[in-house]
Amino acid sequence: MTTDAAPSGWGSTLEKEQEMIAMAHGTWNKRQAKLSSNNMEI
């Protein structure tokens, strides 16, 4: 699984044997957007 977070949102991919199985992404709400970058990565 690979994840990443940025000020504008987050994303994640799940791979098995180099083939993508699932992908998810989204944007932060106003409260979440104020979190530190460390908290966004959790």
- pLDDT tens profile 13-26: 999 999 999 999 99
Q: Which one, of 19, 13, 18, lies nearest residue 1 by Cα?
A: 13
Residue 38 lies in a domain: no
Mean of per-residue pLDDT scores for the chain? 95
Q: How many domains does the chain have?
A: 1
Residue 42 lies in a domain: no
pTM value is: 0.77
Residue type, 9: G
Residue 12 backbone phi and psi in degrees, to 5: -155, 140
Instruction: List the domain range (segments joined by +) for residue 21.
Output: 2-30
Residue 9 lies in a domain: yes
Cα Rg of the chain (Å, integer): 12
Residue 37 lies in a domain: no
Residue 22 lies in a domain: yes
Do the Cβ atoms of 5 and 37 come closer than 8 Å?
A: yes
Give the model's confidence band at 30: pLDDT under 50 very low, under 70 low, under 90 confident, else very high.
Answer: very high
Q: Which one, of 25, 24, 22, 6, lies nearest residue 14 by Cα?
A: 22
Look at residue 42 in the predicted model and tell me its pLDDT: 85
Residue 8 lies in a domain: yes
Q: Is the pLDDT of residue 12 over 90?
A: yes
